[in-house]
Structure 1
Amino acid sequence: MMRTASYAPHLGSALAAGFMLVAALAYNLGAQSVEPDQTETLASTGQADATAFWPGVIRVEASNRIEADVYVRGEEPVPVEVSASSPAPSPSLAAARQRPQLAVIIDDVGLDVAAADRLLAMDVPLTLSILPYAEAAPVIARRASEAGSEVFLHLPMEPVGVEDPGPYALTEFQSAGEMSSRIRWAFSRVPGATGFNNHMGSRLTSDRRAMDAVFAAADLPSSLIFVDSLTHPRSQAARSARAAGLNALTRDVFLDHAPDEASVSAQLNTALALALQNGQAIAIGHPRPQTLAVLSDLSRRAEAVGVEIVTVSALGASPSVEIES
């Protein structure tokens, strides 16, 4: 009986990803990534809903761009490298899905209202992860749902080091009652959320006992999706979420670790390559001007290489390759 070389599937997958990257880079060189500012802002529609007093709510003027004094920068997620030896998608996955899928989550939404307006104006199914302590969080969440974007809660968690995750963050030694209260408050600030991911949280997510306590205290409906932002290389968050009965996914690519347009564009190419190679991928970015400029051309770039842009819920509903804990 003739045997095929064991490396053949891996070689084919790597070649496919390589050809895709060449095509995407060529397309990117000729693409224009300038989007005009939107004239309508959230501040002009329903801003009164966001002015009610909530403990810990941070107020930011709608005209503010993302600047150091008004933008809470989270700790940087762990980079993920793509190598030619990455496994090829399983036959069952390839048969179950006709097109590779990429979900793009935009974290830290809420503090810059003008940036949220630009995201809502994009004709692409993004997932907006909203900080619960942002003053405009409820308004943006409702507007996002009406615009067809998916709404996530960006749940603050304790990081390693001295960075501030924001008001009402979950920390390692809180009681179950305190955790439950903070989680309920956070979800009340982001109406219509279909899932959530961690904001910072490198200390909390790397502790399995602590994460088990978080999900036990939360008592969340199984319909919610949890995405591990992977801010620590030994994160236990996704495993704990699955053990609690939630559909849990993990971030693959961080788009704007280096926030210049060339780097964001290159990371988007990596995310598209992973989607082609593995059948699906999740990328996370932030509402920075450079990231928004690159994402303004997301639909055309994805279409050019045969990748479908979907919400996290759509991705979570698709068959996926299970990774052993």
Structure 2
Amino acid sequence: MTKKTRKKSSKKTKKNSSISKVKLINIFLLVFLFAFIASALSYFIMKNEKENTNKTIIEKKEVKKFQEKKLDEFFKLEEDPKDAFEEYTQEFNKDHIDKPFEEIKQEIQKKKEELEKKKIEKTPLEKKEAPSKTTNDISLFLKKSLYKYDGKSKPKIVIMIDDVSSSRQKKAILDIGYKVNMAFLPPTKGHPNSAKIAQDLPFHMIHFPMQASSKFKGPEKNTLKITHTYEQIEQRVKDLRKWYPNAVFTNNHTGSVFTQNEEAMDKLFRALKKYNFIFVDSRTTAKSVAKKMAEKYNMPYIVRNTFMDNKKEYAYIQNQLKKAIKIAKKRGYAIAIGHPHSMTIKVLKESKHLLKGIEPIFVNELPYL
């Protein structure tokens, strides 16, 4: 091989070597570029997934929060009872227990003597035109007053849930697993089916809206007012009879103003008697004249003993239920009122063991009726 040929071969080798290095660099750069792109894509994908995951978590939390809020709204779970759907008065915090038996007996005896005196004072003509009924004038009222628990039969407890207006509430109450009295609000645009869903129940009541104090800002439509005429009140009672043909018992929704007004309550009891209704006093005011009207119209006097859920706390509600049970064991029966709050329903469902030896009943099964 000549010197010239060797020189050419050396240049060719160097050239090939240079090309190989360029190729390697290009390949390396290409690999690096792919790696960089892959890393960048991976980063953005992971970031996007993380963001989506976080977004999903936030959305789930928001959905849950929304659902809980809606559920709370559905069950009327306001934190402040003063803003609650039901009127809140100081009387809600008080347990109502009738006077001692001996004191009631003295009142009854006095009433009998008054009636006898009126009978004697009447002329023969007056007696012929309007014969005195004496004791029968207050017979149903007397039944409650004279009832004395024998201590042998099972004590009875009437648990009422007011403000019922939907199928969902009805189902939740039925799932409690024992007799609970449902008091349904009359139909309005807000709850148009409240009367329909009550009809297939073995027993139901009407939760009758009546005038509350001016502090209460959420009155139901067609709430009875003390300014209403007898004709207006009678028409409202007539409507209730049409909507709830099988109901007999009605209790007041709110009504701290209405139930202490003698003239208004007289009109109401007159209409209730005409359409075969019996009034249960929710006793939202200590000044309620329901007892007086029950006596006047020869109707049974029924009044609640405790409100269970002034506070929507498990321990509080259960303690109020225990109070009602204690009253029932002492005098043979008790009436406790609550509302369709999820917490109230939960407590009632989980408190069956407290009712051992106690019989939950509908209000028409009270022992003195």
TM-score, with structure 1 as normaliser: 0.68
Q: Which has the higher helix share?
A: 2
1:254 aligns with 2:307: yes
Aligned to 1:308: 359
Shift, 1:295, TM fit: 0.9
Q: Relative to 1, partners in 2 of residues 1:87 and 1:121: Cα closer, same or farther, differing over 3 Å?
A: same
1:198 aligns with 2:252: yes
Aligned to 1:80: 94
From 267, 285, 307, the equivalent of 1:213 is 267
Q: Which digits, 9 at most, give the CA deviation of each residue in 1:161-187, with x for residues without a partner?
A: 142331111100111111111122233
1:139 aligns with 2:193: no
Q: Relative to 1, partners in 2 of residues 1:226 and 1:98: Cα closer, same or farther, differing over 3 Å?
A: same
Aligned to 1:296: 349
Give structure 1 stretches of 5+ with no counterpart.
Answer: 1-60, 321-325
Give, in whole Å, the separation in 1 of the partners of 2:231 and 2:333.
37
From 163, 178, 182, the equivalent of 1:124 is 178
C-alpha contact 2:314 2:343 (8 A) present in aligned 1: yes
Give, in whole Å, the separation in 1 of the partners of 2:249 and 2:299.
10
Displacement over 4 Å in runs of 4+: 61-64, 86-92
Aligned to 1:65: 74
Aligned to 2:296: 243
- Give the letter for the 1:190 counterpart: Y
202-211 or 236-245: which moved more? Answer: 236-245
From 259, 262, 283, the equivalent of 2:336 is 283
Give, in whole Å, the separation in 2 of the partners of 1:129 and 1:91.
28
C-alpha contact 2:325 2:358 (8 A) present in aligned 1: yes
Q: Which has the larger radius of gyration?
A: 2
C-alpha contact 1:251 1:282 (8 A) present in aligned 2: yes
Q: Relative to 1, partners in 2 of residues 1:152 and 1:220: Cα closer, same or farther, differing over 3 Å?
A: farther
1:100 aligns with 2:112: no
- SS of the residue corresponding to residue 257 of structure 2 reads helix
**Percent identity over the alignment?**
26
Give, in whole Å, the separation in 2 of the partners of 1:108 and 1:319.
26
C-alpha contact 2:318 2:351 (8 A) present in aligned 1: no
Shift, 1:246, TM fit: 2.1
Q: Relative to 1, partners in 2 of residues 1:188 and 1:165: Cα closer, same or farther, differing over 3 Å?
A: farther
Q: Relative to 1, partners in 2 of residues 1:187 and 1:68: Cα closer, same or farther, differing over 3 Å?
A: farther
For CA contacts below 8 A with separation 6 or more, give which structure has more relative contact order.
1
From 231, 254, 263, the equivalent of 1:177 is 231
Q: Relative to 1, partners in 2 of residues 1:220 and 1:65: Cα closer, same or farther, differing over 3 Å?
A: same
C-alpha contact 1:299 1:309 (8 A) present in aligned 2: no
Shift, 1:254, TM fit: 0.2
Q: How many residues align?
A: 247
Q: Which digits, 9 at most, give the CA deviation of each residue in 1:248-299, with x for residues without a partner?
A: 2001000001111111011001110111111111000000000000111343
- Give the letter for the 1:262 counterpart: A
